[in-house]
A = this chain, B = another copy of it.
Amino acid sequence: MNETRQRRAGGRAARQAARMQAVVESVPFLTRTLAPVEVLSEEGLSLIEENAETILERVGIEFRDAPDALQLLGDAGAEVEGERVRFPRGLARRLVQATAPREFTQIARNRDRNVVFGGQNTIFAPAYGSPFVRDLDGGRRYGTIEDFRNFVKLAYQSPWFHHSGGTVCEPVDLPVNKRHYDMVAAHLTLTDKPFMGSVTHPQRARDTVDMARIVFGADFVDENTVVFSLINANSPLVWDATMLGAARAYAEANQAVMMTPFILAGAMSPATVAATCAQTLAESVAGMAYCQLVRAGAPVVLGSFASSMSMQSGAPTFGTPEPALVLYVMAALARRLGVPFRSGGALTASKIPDAQAAYESANTMQPTMLAGVNFVLHSAGWLEGGLTMGYEKFVLDADQLGMWHAFCKGVDLSDNGQALDAFLTNEPGTHFLGHPHTLANFESAFYRSPVADNSSFEQWELEGANDAAQRANAIWKRALVEYEQPKLDESTEEELSEWIEQQKASFPDSDV
C-alpha cells in the first residue's frame, strides 16, 4: 500500500515536473523588458515633488509617541514642535537619497529564490492581512492557522509567486500576542521562498529577526537582508509608535521595510490624484528618512496603496481609473527618488470571485505591471477590500500572474519568432496547424491557463456548466494534496520549534 502510494506520488511528481519543464520557466523574480508607462511629463512629476516638499515644510508629519524619531529627525535638521516634524525643503529627500540603496537583495532560505528589489524587477507575493477566509465549500469564516499554512503552501507550490508574503490571513484562532510565532514559523519551514515579518509590535518584529537568525545564522542575518516587512502610515501625515517601533527594529537589524501610506482618497487625502500622490510621497519619504537615520543604508521601499472611495457610503472602491493613475505616477516618483517601489495587486471590493472581482483586480494589476512595480503585495487572493482571503480567488489571480510571466518576455524576434521559413513553405489558404514550425512551437507558443474554460459550449455544459470559481476550487484542493514540504535541516527545525515554545511559555496569552 505504502509502495503503491509512493509509486503513484512519484508518477504524479514526474508528470508534474515534466509539465513544468515544458511550460514553466521558473524564475526567482520577473524581469520586465518593457519601459515603464508614464502618465505625466517631467514637469508634472516635478510639480508633485514640489507639492510634497511644501507639505513636509509647511504642514509637517506627526511622529506619535516616538521620542527617538523626534530626536533623530531634529538632530538631522528638521524643525520639531511637539510631535510635529517639519522638514526644510529637500531635507527628507536628501536623507533618503544619501544612504538608501537603489536596489537590494532579500535572501531566501533557498538561495535560488533570492529576490532583487528595484530596477526592472517585479516580485509577486500573496495578499496580506485578511481576518476572514472564503472558499466555495465553507463560505466566509474567520481565518485560522490552518488556513494560513494552506496559503503558504499554495504560494510555495505555484511557480508564479516569488515571495511567500506575510500575514496571508490572520490566524484568528491563535492569541494576538503569540500568533506571529506560528506565522513566521510557517514561512520559515513550509516554504523556502522569501517572506515578511511581524509588525504589530516592536517586540514581534525583534522576534521575527530572532527566528530568522536561528534558520539563517545570526552572523548571516546581520550582514544580509532576510526579512522584509510592511510599515503603514496612519494617513494623513501621521506615523504611529507601533509602526515606527517595528520599522526601527527591522532597520536596526539591517532588514528591509516598505514605508507605505495606505490611503482611501477623499477621506485620508484630498479626493484628487495629484494630491494623493503628493501626500503619499511626503509621508513615505519622511518615514524612509527616519529609517535611514536609524541605520544608514537599511533597505527601504517606497510603498503606495491608494483606493478611491464611494462618495455615497465612504466605502473604498477598487479597480477604478483614479487609483490606476496614482499608481502610474507613484511608480515614476519612486524611480526619480531612487528607491524600489511597492504598490498594486489583485484588489477588489467584491465579496466573491465574480466578474466584479476579476475586472477590478485586472484593472489594478495592469497598471501594477505596466507602471513597473517592484514588489506586488496582494497579488493573489484578495477579496472584499482586503477583509477576506479567498481560496478560489487565489487560484484565479495566480493564473493571471502566470500570464504576466509570459507577457514580460516581450516579443520574440528570433528567426523562430519571425517564422519566415514557415511563410515561405505554406500556401495561401492552407492552415499552419500541421506545419513543422507549429509542431516545433506547440508546447510553448501560448500561455496555458489551468482555470480558463476554452471548450465548446456543449462540452462545457456536459462538464457541469461550471464557472471559473468552481474550476479554481478543484485546483487548490488538488494542490494541497500534492504539496511536499521543502527540506530544512532537522536540528534547525527543532531549535526553532523549541525556541518558539520557550517564548510562548514565558508570558500569558493576550488578545492585544
Partner pick for A270 among B385, B422, B455, CB 8 A cutoff: B422
Provide the residues of chain B in CB contact with A467, threshold 8 Å: 352, 354-356
- Chain B residue numbers with a CB within 8 Å of A350 are 452-453, 468
The residue from B361, B388, B426 contacting A359, defined by CB atoms under 8 A apart = B361
Question: Contact at A317–B446, with CB atoms within 8 Å?
Answer: yes
Q: Is the CB of B446 within 8 A of A271?
A: yes
* Interface contact A349-B311, CB-CB below 8 Å: no
Say yes or no for A55: interface residue by CB 8 A criterion. yes
Q: Quick one: which of A411-460 are within 8 Å of B by CB?
A: 411-413, 416-420, 422-424, 426-433, 435, 437-438, 441-443, 445-449, 451-457, 460
Q: Mark A29-40, 1 if CB is under 8 A from B, else 0.
A: 000001101111
- Whether B321 lies near A419 (C-beta < 8 A) is no
Contact with B along A457-482 (1 / 0, CB 8 A): 10010000101110000000000000
Q: Is the CB of B270 within 8 A of A437?
A: yes
Q: Check B54 against A446 for contact (C-beta < 8 Å).
A: no
Instruction: Report the minimal beta-carbon distance from A261 to chain B, rounded to whole angstroms.
Output: 12
Whose C-beta in chain B lies nearest to the C-beta of A275?
B419
A324 part of interface (Cβ distance < 8 Å): yes
| A428 touches which of B238, B265, B271, B446 (Cβ 8 Å) | B238
Q: Does A256 contact B (CB under 8 A)?
A: no
With a cutoff of 8 Å between Cβ atoms, the chain B residues found around residue A320 in the complex are 403, 406, 446-447, 449
**With A and B bound together, what is the CA distance between A457 and B40 in angstroms?**
37
Which of B47, B411, B438 is within 8 Å of A325, CB to CB? Answer: B411
Taking a contact as CB atoms under 8 Å apart, the answer to whether B407 and A272 are in contact is no
Q: A236-B428, A362-B359, A469-B354 are in contact. Are A44 and B270 (CB under 8 A)?
A: no
Known A-B contacts A273-B411, A446-B266; A278 and B418 likewise in contact (beta carbons under 8 Å): yes
Closest chain B residue to A320, Cβ basis:
B447
Binds B, one of A1-9, A58-66, A88-96: A58-66
Of the candidates A278, A324, A410, the one having the most CB atoms from chain B within 10 angstroms of its own CB is A410
A400 within 8 A of B: yes
Interface size on A, residues (CB 8 A): 122
In contact, B273 and A437 (Cβ under 8 angstroms): no
A59-B454 Cα distance, complex, nearest whole Å:
33
Chain B residues positioned under 8 Å from A423 (CB to CB) = 51, 54-55, 58-59, 270, 275, 278-279
The reply to whether B357 and A413 contact each other, CB–CB distance below 8 Å, is no
A57 CB to nearest B CB, Å: 11
In angstroms, Cα B310 to Cα A140, docked, is 34
A269 CB-CB contact with B under 8 Å:
yes
Residues of B near A433 (CB, < 8 A) are 266-267, 314
Find out whether the CB atom of A362 lies under 8 angstroms from the CB atom of B370. no
Residues on A close to B: CB < 8 A?
34-35, 37-40, 44, 47-48, 51, 54-55, 58-62, 84, 140, 234, 236-238, 265-275, 278-279, 308-311, 313-317, 319-322, 324-325, 329, 349-363, 366, 370, 384-385, 387-388, 396, 400, 403-404, 406-407, 410-413, 416-420, 422-424, 426-433, 435, 437-438, 441-443, 445-449, 451-457, 460, 465, 467-469
Can you give 23 contacting A-B residue pairs, CB < 8 Å?
A35-B38, A40-B411, A48-B418, A59-B426, A61-B428, A62-B428, A266-B432, A266-B433, A270-B441, A271-B441, A273-B417, A275-B420, A275-B423, A311-B448, A314-B433, A315-B456, A321-B403, A329-B411, A354-B468, A356-B467, A359-B396, A359-B468, A366-B366
Inter-chain pairs besides A140-B457, A273-B412, A359-B468, 10 sampled, C-beta below 8 Å? A44-B411, A60-B428, A236-B429, A266-B433, A268-B432, A270-B432, A274-B411, A311-B445, A320-B406, A385-B454
